Structure 1
Amino acid sequence: MSVSSDHPARPRLLGLVGSPSPGGRSLTAVRALLAGAAAEGAEVEVLELADGPDPEKIQQAFEVADGIAFATPTYRARSSSLIKAVLENTERGIVGDTRSPLLGKAAAIVHTGATAHHFLAVDDLRDVLAGFFAAQVLAPGLYFEGADYDEPTVLGESAQQLAEAHGRAFAQFTAGVRAAPAVRALKPLL
């Protein structure tokens, strides 16, 4: 089925959850973000790294997605080792790389932590995605602490609304990035 230029295909968004345990607060937060994106008409999918997906499947999911929401618990003011490992194994399209699945893609960041003390971890991941991979990152990123949850896997009302608002923005941002070939063509400098 062809899609007319008046009605472009819906953005395809992937939520990548870097928690070492399935379920949990990072999954809850990214699902809330993706619910907002779906309300804007985006197609959404979630991959949990705790499920041990094949690294090739992750790279293929990056390639077909228009935007990726990286959701991760915060450990010592940094993203989880699972997110780091995925990024370490993701090519950038330079120096002999044959792929660049994050190049020119829209990205969003969702960090979770026990307290607000480590909220700047969002900036660390943003720098890696934008500078190293030349992904276009929605700002600001989200950070939810334990107090933002009514139960371990239920966001409080204001946090839920914030995540959904970011999801709506992420869907629109992704559509904008997808429609901007000059932006998508920007490459990592080094």
Structure 2
Amino acid sequence: MSPVLLGLVGGPDAGGRTTTAVEGVLVGAEKAGATTSLLELSQAAPDEVAAALEAADGVVFGSPVYRATYSALLKQVLEATERGRWGEKTQPLQGKVAATVLTGASAHHFLAVDDLRNVLAGFFAVQVLSPGLYVEQAGYVDRTTLTPETAELAAVHGAALADLARAVRGSAALQAITPQV
């Protein structure tokens, strides 16, 4: 059975540069045999996001970088996502994999990828593909087209995420890891 991977885009406008980058990752995942879908947080209802997270084997978390961190839209989703702790009834990210895709005008904010990876790995106990992908403006031909080099790198991240999802799905131990606190 092929892994089901969700692209979750936290940009304020649908179809922006972050969407293009996340789509590049999903293209690589599809070529590696994954089934993919894309959800724009600016267009989605909270229950739609929760259901999509629950159904996926893995998530490509995408966001533009604002003030050296990922978007408020993405933060809002992560803050609302339960972890199965302290009386919470769900843990939609447990036993899952993730990739991070952040975008920015220049390379100055590439370390924001680490902040998102740390939240996913440490707070949610998600197996996160490292390193994350950071795409600056020079990685685009235009708003909806990655440069060939960036498209190739995004596709490799997608194929690697599909492989990681298969590995985690095949490991009871990796699926059983939960947040410590």
| TM tier relative to shorter chain | over 0.9
The aligned residue for residue 141 of structure 2 is 150
Alignment partners' CA distance in 2, 1:76 and 1:54: 25
The aligned residue for residue 4 of structure 1 is none
The aligned residue for residue 96 of structure 2 is 105
> TM-score under structure 1 normalisation?
0.94
Runs (4 or more) in structure 1 with deviation over 3 Å come to none
1:145: how far off?
A: 0.1
1:70: how far off?
A: 0.2
Q: Secondary structure at the match of 1:44?
A: strand
> For the aligned residues, what is the CA RMSD?
0.6
Residue identity in the other structure for 1:40:
A
1:97: how far off?
A: 0.4
Unaligned runs of 5+ in 1: 1-8
Q: Given the alignment, which residue of 107, 128, 131 partners 2:119?
A: 128
Aligned-pair identity in percent equals 52
Alignment partners' CA distance in 1, 2:38 and 2:160: 18
Question: For 1:55-74, what per-residue CA distance to the aligned partner results, in whole angstroms no more than 9, with x for missing partners?
Answer: 11111111110000001000
The aligned residue for residue 5 of structure 1 is none
Unaligned runs of 5+ in 2: none
Residue identity in the other structure for 1:117:
H
The aligned residue for residue 163 of structure 1 is 154
Alignment partners' CA distance in 2, 1:146 and 1:107: 23
Alignment partners' CA distance in 1, 2:48 and 2:90: 14
Q: Given the alignment, which residue of 26, 38, 42 partners 2:34?
A: 42
> TM-score under structure 2 normalisation?
0.99
Moved more, 84-93 or 55-64: 55-64
1:15: how far off?
A: 0.2
* Number of aligned residue pairs: 181
The aligned residue for residue 67 of structure 1 is 58
1:27 aligns to 2:26 (yes or no): no
Q: Secondary structure at the match of 2:19?
A: helix
Q: Secondary structure at the match of 1:23?
A: coil
1:49: how far off?
A: 0.7
Question: For 1:10-66, what per-residue CA distance to the aligned partner results, in whole angstroms no more than 9, with x for missing partners?
Answer: 100000000011101100001010000000110000000111x12111111111100
Greater Rg over alpha carbons, structure? 1
Q: Given the alignment, which residue of 73, 79, 86 partners 2:70?
A: 79
